[in-house]
Amino acid sequence: MEEEYLPIEPRVFDNGTKAMIYSFDELTVEQVEFANEVLDWKMQQRNKPADSFHEISRSGGAEWLTMVASYLVVPYVDGKHGEFDIGVVHEYASFLRKLKGPQQRSAILEVVNDFFTRTGRLRDLTMILQPGSKLNAKEILSEAIAISMMRQQQMPLEES
């Protein structure tokens, strides 16, 4: 029996002075297209690996998750979704990069996973996240769902 994917609720990222929100149901066509373009670009990079970490860093390849997420969030002020503005997406990325705590990276990954799962590109995402892995998409998704459920219930994660 296959497990059904349960989409995440809208996710607010807050640094104390500013907040951004990811809400799948509020995404614009423009946001969807740009997020998909980043995944396509990352897949092309995977097919033509860099020779050094410096090359990866210079090309932005090390920050691709933040790049995707920056296209999926909008300002969140007084409980209301703001408008996506491609002209300041670099500010969205900077905001996400500067969030404190390792749990924020997990939250960004959860948002990216939710987006690509719901748009039918989980397989592509899995290939990028697990290069050379023998895990299939179902196993990875099951693990991501379990982690998400634990976080929602505020249960401590066991170390592997």
pLDDT in tens, 52-68: 555 555 555 557 889 99
Q: Give the span between the Cα atoms of 108 and 68, in whole angstroms.
A: 9
Domain assignment present for 35: yes
Domain assignment present for 62: yes
The residue ranking higher by pLDDT, 146 or 15, is 15
Domain assignment present for 159: no
pLDDT band of residue 129 (cuts 50, 70, 90) is: confident
Domain assignment present for 130: yes
Task: Write down the pLDDT at residue 102.
Answer: 76
Domain assignment present for 145: yes
CA 147 to chain centre: 15
Which two structure tokens, joined as six digits, stand for 71? 């296209």
Burial of 3 (C-beta count, 10 Å sphere; 0-12/13-18/19+): exposed
Domain assignment present for 2: no
Which two structure tokens, joined as six digits, stand for 44? 């092309």
Average pLDDT over residues 115-136: 76
Domain assignment present for 158: no
Domain assignment present for 157: no
Q: Structurally, how many domains does the chain consist of? A: 1
Domain containing 17 equals 11-152
